């Protein structure tokens, strides 16, 4: 079941859903509209071979360059950036978030891969934004970019993974112990 605005407000009022800061236009008809934070990450190197199964967390993090305190983020053509939400959220143990790029941005050639924010997740959300166009698209911090659809889930186990509690943009984890 997708949660509408009334149910989302009830979760906030009951202190089961936490959003900081909570703007008056954060809660939309059927989800949350979240803003771009003031940092982002890109690959630190170009034209290298990346082998995720051979990298631990520290080695993977070294492949990314994090820019902090920015007002604008330029996304080059045929490239991607890791953006973070300005808002810090805490989802209840029975609510899952389905992340979608706002359609206005998609109409400019931007996209995100299918992304699930697990039940019980807390932190800033790091999301991959891909520029499929042949133009550089410049985004400003605090722009609403991510629409998070909240879904009621049965039988979930709260998320306790490595991204829990993340502050700011977070590069991917290494997959050395997963392959």
Mean pLDDT, residues 104-132: 97
Query: Is it the case that residue 18 has pLDDT exceeding 90?
Result: yes
Question: Rg for the chain (alpha carbons), in Å?
Answer: 17
* pLDDT-based confidence at residue 158 (cuts at 50, 70, 90): confident
Run of H or E including 176: none
CATH of residue 132: 2.70.40.10
The pTM for the full model equals: 0.93
Tally of domains within the chain: 1
- Catalytic site residue from 46, 49, 72, 128: 128
pLDDT of the residue at 132: 98
Phi then psi for residue 83, to 5 deg, are: -105, 160
List CB contacts of 47: < 8 A, sequence separation 6 or more.
none
CA 2 to chain centre: 19
Tokens of 8: 């989302």
Do the domain assignments include residue 179? no
- Residue 139 within any structural domain of the chain: yes
Quick check: is 175 in a domain?
no
Residue 23 lies inside a defined structural domain of this protein: yes
Q: What integer pLDDT is reported at residue 162 of this predicted model?
A: 86
Q: With the CA atoms of 23, 4, 18 and 27 taken in that order, what torsion angle do they form, in degrees rounded to the nearest 10?
A: -10
The tokens of 81 are what? 């950036």
Asked if residue 15 belongs to a domain, the reply is yes
Residue 135 lies in a domain: yes
Q: Is 27 helix (H, G, I), strand (E, B) or coil?
A: strand
Q: pLDDT, tens digit, for every residue of 30-74?
A: 999 999 999 999 999 988 999 999 999 999 999 999 999 999 999
Read off the pLDDT band of 121 (50, 70, 90).
Answer: very high
* Bridge partners, 130 (sequence order): 80, 111
Boundaries of domain holding 78: 5-152
Residue 144 belongs to a domain? yes
The answer to whether residue 128 is catalytic is: yes
Q: Does residue 120 sit within a domain? A: yes
């Amino acid at each position: 079941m997708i949660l509408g605005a009334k149910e989302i407000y009830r979760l906030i009022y009951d202190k089961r859903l936490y959003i900081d800061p909570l703007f008056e236009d954060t809660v939309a008809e059927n989800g949350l509209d979240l803003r771009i934070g003031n940092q982002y990450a890109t690959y630190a190197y170009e034209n290298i071979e990346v082998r995720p199964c051979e990298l631990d967390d520290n080695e993977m993090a070294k492949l990314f360059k994090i820019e902090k305190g920015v007002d604008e983020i330029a996304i080059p053509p045929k490239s991607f950036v890791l953006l973070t939400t300005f808002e810090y959220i805490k989802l209840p143990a029975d609510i899952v978030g389905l992340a979608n790029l706002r359609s206005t941005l998609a109409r400019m050639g931007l996209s995100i891969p299918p992304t699930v924010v697990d039940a019980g997740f807390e932190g800033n959300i790091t999301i991959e934004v891909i520029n499929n166009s042949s133009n550089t698209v410049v985004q400003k911090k605090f722009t609403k970019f991510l629409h998070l659809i909240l879904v009621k889930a049965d039988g979930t186990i709260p998320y306790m993974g490595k991204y829990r509690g993340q502050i700011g943009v977070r590069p991917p984890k290494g997959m050395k112990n997963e392959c």
